[in-house]
Structure 1
Amino acid sequence: MARWIGTLNEGSLLRRTLLYIGTFALGSLAFVGVMSLVLVSVAKAVLPPHDAAGSAAEETEEAESEAATGTSKAALGKTSRSKRLRAPSQAERDSAPSAD
């Protein structure tokens, strides 16, 4: 390899220029690759996981909607179920005192 690089360096101006351009391109790619890896690793260590961030955003939206309407989603679900009319079961009818 050293002989090959040496022959390129001893050659014409075109060969030397191509050697410098190739070296610069490979060095730049290596630098960008290493820096990308470092930045992604630091970001993953510093920022919370994606799921936790999504849950926190949903909880914030829920709290804001509760504050605006005065009711929560859980309360709305319970209210609709408790107000739903249903026929009494046979056991409830048998145990209820008769009006006779």
Structure 2
Amino acid sequence: MGTLPVAKKKKAGRQKCSSKPVKLPDDASAEELARLARAVAHPARVRILRLLTDRETCICGEIVAELPLAQSTVSQHLKILKESGMIQGEI
């Protein structure tokens, strides 16, 4: 699995992302793999991951500017990606 950015809180609801590797354990269980599959099951989350892998830092608003989605929708997708372990930091 590649390196994905880590979301960090910046100022009043703004987030910053930095690259840190996210690795799948060698002994990943079927449940872990299913959790990751669910995280990327939505096209918007795949697009968000693509945007994040192209940047060293990002603000949630930058993602919103790139996608035809409301800020609250992007935040929900970021939350799902964070819960899956694909990104880290504060949403």
Fold similarity call, TM over 0.5 = no
User: Which of the pair has more CA radius of gyration?
Assistant: 1
Relative contact order higher in (CA < 8 Å, ≥ 6 apart): 2
Length-normalised TM-score, structure 2:
0.22
* Larger proportion of helix: 1
Length-normalised TM-score, structure 1:
0.21
